[in-house]
Structure 1
Amino acid sequence: MTKPVGGGWRESVIAYIRAEATPTDKFGHQPRLYALARQIAEGEDCDDDVLFAAAWMHDLGVFLGHRPADPVQLAAWDHVPYTIEKSRELLSGWGFPSEKLAAVAESIRTHQSNDHAILPEAVVLRDADILEQLGAIGALRAFVKVGRDTRFATYSDVVPVLERALEVLPGKLQLNRSRDLAQGRVRALAALLTAIYEEAGQNLY
């Protein structure tokens, strides 16, 4: 992995995301994602500046104030084009190396589990984002949406999401390092779901 370029743009990114990440619990996803990406990227031909910028900026379009407030518009909202355009503008203003902007944009464009990532940084970011949907962290991120996301009125609405994550997401990981890191998370999520079934039965609500 290439060494990062010096400069204060990283501090600007962190300060901006800290201020814009609302609800505030969304902030933690960015530093965790970058840390995961760094783990996965060990031994890979990745540019750390691209990884950092893409990991910290990739979800800008899902924050309150950056996404539509109207429920109908929100249901059809694709945050990725907005995030790419806004990230390019902001990163340029903070002094991010201009020759790396295209790689950041491509990494953000293909960061979701249903996307096909090709760039090394994009593959790493996508795998890291999948790992964030598994294990205890994946469960926390899902259950915190109950009552504030129209898709999740009750805990029972979240369980199928976690079941699907457990069934589908591990098979979408592209790198062996990611698969190794996923093993503990898969066990943790499976154990949690088993405990929910045993403790709540048909009365989760």
Structure 2
Amino acid sequence: MKNPWEEINLNDYENHMSLDSVYQLQTMNEMMKEQLNEYKIKTVIILGVAGGNGLEHIDKDKFETVYGVDVNQKYLDECINRYPELSVVFKVICADLLNDDLQLPHADLLIANLLIEYIGYECFRSIVNSVTPEYVSCIIQINTDNSFVSDSPYLQAFDRLQEVDHQIDEKALNNAMNEIGYIKKIIDGRELPNGKKLLRIDFIQNS
């Protein structure tokens, strides 16, 4: 069976995320600018890059390689179309992160925004161990109710996401990362209009 993200139309996803009542696309864009500029690094891998929200903050003079990973090839094609100026540094990888045989390149920084919720702690830790980044920067969603996907006219497009949904919280994520040698470095929260919250947690390799 296909990964649910292979069947979600990018316009539906981005229109939902950018609604005034949701405001996640805009908030994550601001937070991603900070993620990309926080550390002195040369390479970054962005898991679940979707349509490339935030890629406009990439400094071509700073980064040697930026990997965008997604299970949906149409999303990756749109990234390439939207950001032709990044063609020298931006490399796309079409891959299902739930694949046990997944092999990803090394990068100094790994970014995973609203991604761990769809693969779970164990899969995420396996990916981190494969990429061996010095820094890991995650954004997770803190819910005030039992729904991960906010109510909107596009809600039906996300029906199948419940098949891969995992409940994620700060303490459990911190413990999972500690067990593979990463310690918390930064934590920053942003309130959303619908009462939900985006929480950025950065980890550094404990060498």
TM-score range, shorter chain: 0.3 to 0.5
Q: TM-score, normalised by structure 1?
A: 0.39
Question: Larger Cα Rg: Structure 1 or Structure 2?
Answer: 1
More strand by share: 2
Using CA pairs below 8 Å that are at least 6 residues apart, which structure has the higher relative contact order? 2
